[in-house]
Chains A and B, each alone.
Chain A
Amino acid sequence: MALNKPYENIPGTTMFDGDMARRGYHLNQFCMSLLKPENRKRFKSNQRAYLDEWPMKEAQKLAVLNRDYNSMIANGGNIYFLAKIFSTDEQSFEQAAASMTGLSRQEYRKMMLSGGRSPEGNRYKKEAEDG
């Protein structure tokens, strides 16, 4: 019997459950490797060659090369693992989060300073679409 996944109707949200964790295993373990300074250096000097050392899917590698965090997440990446990539790029959580919402860093920061994104209209996919 399939597991109940009531979170699938939340808009703009991917829960890092077993299915996603399985899909993203090598992507996330690649991210962990960037915790070592020598690996960060090697990755920066030739990103494609470094990624090719990992048994990752091509879509995952392209998402990393394009710094497309939404695509990395769709391919099983978890934000706390992906943080190793934007830390290597010397970017903050705020910058990375902004990039996923389609807002500029300034617009995103302004939204946060005015109280953040309201849950109103953002709880269910249907209401977000009707928005």
Chain B
Amino acid sequence: MAKVTAGIVTSHVPAIGAAIDNGQTGTDYWKPLFKGFEFSKKWIREEKPDVVILVYNDHASAFDMKIIPTFAIGCGEQFEPADEGWGPRPVPTVVGRPDLAWHTMQSVIQDGFDLTVINEMTVDHGLTVPLSLMFGQVEEWPCQIIPFAVNVVVYPPPSGQRCYDLGKALRKAVESFDEDLNIQVWGTGGMSHQLQGARAGLINKEFDRNFLDHLRDDPEGLAQMPHIDYVRDAGSEGIELVMWMVMRGAMNHDVKELHRFYHVPASNTAVGHAIYENL
């Protein structure tokens, strides 16, 4: 039987990808950030997940204003990195896991979450930066990846509660898959940041710290937080944090936090990262 063995959350700032791709990880500006992922890279080399369900958002790369799916699952064989205006990132093709993705789609829809199925799309920094942070610069990603896109660009995104409940449905789906697979669920985006308007540059360390504490200890309580609190306190783009709730829903109520890292800034953003195992 397939099993969700760990949950990971991390920010997915595009400038982090650029720093990796341009060999700037050792500069004074970037070094402290990459130090925070050293444990994680070592840990995941030992964990060897077979499949990662990677919850992320597209940033007007694969999806434009024509079609805006709230929840979309990538069921294709593979996904190429997107050209986001300066050429695609020099990272490996993302290899999907169609049998598990279609299985998950059927189970989750029958559980009440009406997913959109995507067979062909490119994947942008929202998906590839977390992979780079966890696996470094590699010839091939060392696992299969099911892209799971959540709309957080057009307001409103799904609620934290909905994302949390979706995580539970995802776990149920995965754990009814017959093959023995080591599966991780990743939630990406956040933490506090605002990229637009006169309030751009907003960072809220206290909010972020509380969010990480509650994510570990009180996910049901955290799921109740309304959108307006994310936006007002963590910035208009801080609302991406609802995607972390999907990861959390896929884990047990009681988890062990193996690692936590927090750093300000990466470009405009507060970077948060944590790894959880079920207790």
Is A13 within 8 A of B270, CB to CB?
A: no
B107: CB under 8 A from chain A? no
Chain B residues near A10: list those with CB within 8 A: 199, 231-232
A37 to B70, CA, bound (A): 29
Contacts of B204 in A (CB 8 A): 118-119
Asked whether any CB of chain A lies closer than 8 Å to the CB of B178, the reply is no
With beta carbons under 8 angstroms apart, the residue of B60, B154, B268 that contacts A94 is B268
> For window 239-279 of chain B, which residues contact chain A by CB distance below 8 Å?
264-265, 267-268, 270
Inter-chain contact B84/A35, CB cutoff 8 Å: yes
Q: Which residues of B contact A73 (CB under 8 A)?
A: 196-197
Q: Which of A88-121 contact B (CB under 8 A)?
A: 88, 90, 92-94, 96-98, 100-102, 108, 111-113, 115-119
Tell whether, in the assembled complex, residue A13 and residue B153 are in contact, meaning their CB atoms are under 8 Å apart.
Answer: no
Which parts of B56-106 form the interface with A (CB within 8 Å)? 59-61, 64-66, 83-86
Asked if A51 lies at the interface with its beta carbon under 8 angstroms from chain B, I say no
Q: Are A14 and B197 in contact (CB under 8 A)?
A: yes
Are B197 and A80 in contact, CB atoms less than 8 angstroms apart?
no
Size of the B side of the interface (Cβ < 8 Å), in residues, is: 42
Report yes or no: A12 in contact with B267, Cβ–Cβ below 8 A. Answer: no
- Given A6-B228, A13-B231, A116-B270, residue A84 in contact with residue B85 (CB < 8 A): yes
Partner of B65, one of A12, A13, A28, A117: A28
B5 to chain A, nearest CB (A): 33
Shortest beta-carbon distance, B109 to chain A, in Å? 25
The answer to whether A83 and B60 touch across the interface, beta carbons within 8 angstroms, is: yes
* Contacts known (A84-B60, A122-B202); A79 close to B195, Cβ less than 8 A: yes
With both chains docked as a complex, state the minimum distance between the C-beta of A109 and any C-beta of chain B, in angstroms: 9
Q: Which residues of A contact B207 (CB under 8 A)?
A: 119
Interface string of A73-86 (1 = CB under 8 A from B): 10000111101100
Are B15 and A117 in contact (CB-based, < 8 A)? no
What does the 1/0 interface line of A43-80 toward B look like (CB < 8 Å)?
00000000000000000000000000110010000111
Name A's interface SS.
helix
Contact B85 A100 (CB under 8 A): no
Check A78/B60 contact, CB under 8 A, given A93-B14, A94-B15, A94-B268: yes
* A100 x B264 contact (CB < 8 A): no
Does B156 lie at the interface of the complex (its beta carbon under 8 Å from any beta carbon of A)? yes
From A87, A108, A117, B203 is in contact (CB under 8 Å) with A117
With a cutoff of 8 Å between Cβ atoms, the chain A residues found around residue B197 in the complex are 12-14, 70, 73, 100
Neighbour of A12 across the interface among B192, B198, B227, B264, CB < 8 A: B198
A17 interface contact, C-beta 8 A: yes
User: Which residues of chain A are within 8 angstroms of B14 by Cβ–Cβ distance?
Assistant: 93
The residue among B66, B84, B197, B203 with the most chain A CB atoms within 10 A of its own CB is: B197
Closest chain A residue to B231 by CB distance? A7
Pairwise interchain contact A81-B60, C-beta atoms closer than 8 A: yes
Q: Given A32-B65, A78-B153, list of 15 further CB < 8 A pairs?
A: A7-B231, A13-B199, A16-B154, A35-B61, A40-B85, A70-B198, A79-B195, A87-B86, A93-B267, A101-B199, A108-B201, A111-B201, A115-B203, A116-B268, A124-B232
Q: What are 13 sample pairs from A and B whose C-beta atoms fall under 8 A apart?
A: A12-B197, A12-B198, A35-B61, A80-B59, A87-B86, A94-B268, A97-B195, A100-B198, A102-B198, A116-B201, A116-B264, A119-B202, A123-B233
Which 8 pairs across A and B sit closest by C-beta, in order of nearness? A116-B203, A87-B85, A12-B198, A12-B199, A97-B200, A112-B265, A117-B201, A80-B60
